[in-house]
Structure 1
């Protein structure tokens, strides 16, 4: 269920789910946390409750997004009402006890925290979002809330790797012109993009250190959902939060 959880002494937490331990059935089996992929809504709610419980979180303290592959950022200060997920690809909060969640099934989940400032962010960096600058936008929103890039720690979660993300050569050239570290080649010798490397490069230029860079390729791992491998499938979730109680 929780494929990986990273807990820091200063009260910051990063967590990444795998596909197991939920109640959804094929093709969304088992722990589908995405509410817009065709799964039954009651099953998604149960999965979100199970995942939150495994993390020691109240499901009401988890904030979700309606992701659209852009660079929009929403600042969050309160619990989220049902059906009120903002249409953005990054969330930021200065409120301890609120967990920010990002959904993926090959795109790059990016989690960021500055515990000293009490600020966290979560970003969904697919190819369009990375090119549009969603990661720098998330860091800028954190800075507006008092975060310092030198204190921010980041985690890059499971996503499709540069050996598997095949794209047409003109597209590789277009994205690599914006972020050179994305240039890659598949294991079978065709043009590819390495989105996790691109995210890491963007964070490094902003002065943000990456504490965790996942070695898991979602397309290669049967323990993770992959849109490129399965098309109709579920969504993983990545969470970031700081210790505290929502009031």
Structure 2
């Protein structure tokens, strides 16, 4: 159910795989995305299973309505009956409140400053990388007292630069904003490496404690991949502070 779990000075980071849930084909098994056509009851059950496997209260996990932008929401409690905002990063200074990000090829970015007690979950696809969603999240964390030099960053399973084929013009547009994202597929065509771009942005911001999942979602049958399957589920990354 979790492909990676890490704890650093009371900051918890976790990423799911696709197994251990109740969703049927093509969302089997642990689909955590509520906007991909899966049975809502199955998604609710899967979110409960995933949260409880991490020792979390499912009602205390904050989700986003992700739109491939750069907007950030600061949260101090679950949405409850409030509408879930269209943002691609959520930040909190509330210890014990878990933040979640959904992906199926995009790069999930989890950030935490254990000293300040500030955490963030970020959805960084190609458009979000270009728009600057990761720097926007770090700025929002800093406004709550975080220091980039103390921030711990973990990026989860995502499509790798050897597999994320794009038109040459698109690669050029992305590389003009973030040169580190310039890549080539294993078969020699233009590609974008979003995760490499994210880590380059974090490095320039002064975030040094960074780790990257070795999993490529397109290559791994244990993970959902939109590029591979189109109709498929969503993985989740979770971050919270003791």
TM range (shorter): over 0.9
Match of 1:106 in 2: 105
Unaligned ranges ≥5, structure 2: none
Give the TM-score taking structure 1 as reference length. Answer: 0.97
Unaligned ranges ≥5, structure 1: none
Q: 1:82 to 1:236 in 2, by over 3 A?
A: farther
- After superposing on structure 2, the runs of 4+ consecutive aligned residues of structure 1 that deviate more than 4 Å are none
CA distance in 1, matches of 2:7, 2:137: 21
The reply to whether residue 4 of structure 1 matches residue 4 of structure 2 is: yes
Q: CA deviation at 1:82?
A: 4.9
Deviations 1:50-83 (A, max 9, x none): 0000000000110000000000000001122156
CA distance in 1, matches of 2:211, 2:37: 32
Match of 2:202 in 1: 203
CA distance in 2, matches of 1:142, 1:220: 33
Q: CA deviation at 1:210?
A: 3.9
1:19-30 residue pairs with structure 2 within 5 A? 19-30=18-29
Q: How many residues are matched?
A: 242
More deviation, 102-111/76-85: 76-85
* Backbone CA RMSD of aligned residues: 0.8
The reply to whether residue 115 of structure 1 matches residue 118 of structure 2 is: no
Q: Tell me if structure 1 keeps the 8 A contact 2:199–2:210.
A: no
Match of 2:126 in 1: 127
Match of 2:191 in 1: 192
Q: CA deviation at 1:85?
A: 2.0
Q: Tell me if structure 2 keeps the 8 A contact 1:113–1:152.
A: yes
Q: Aligned with 1:150: secondary structure?
A: helix
Match of 1:172 in 2: 171
Match of 2:180 in 1: 181
Match of 1:39 in 2: 38
Match of 2:143 in 1: 144
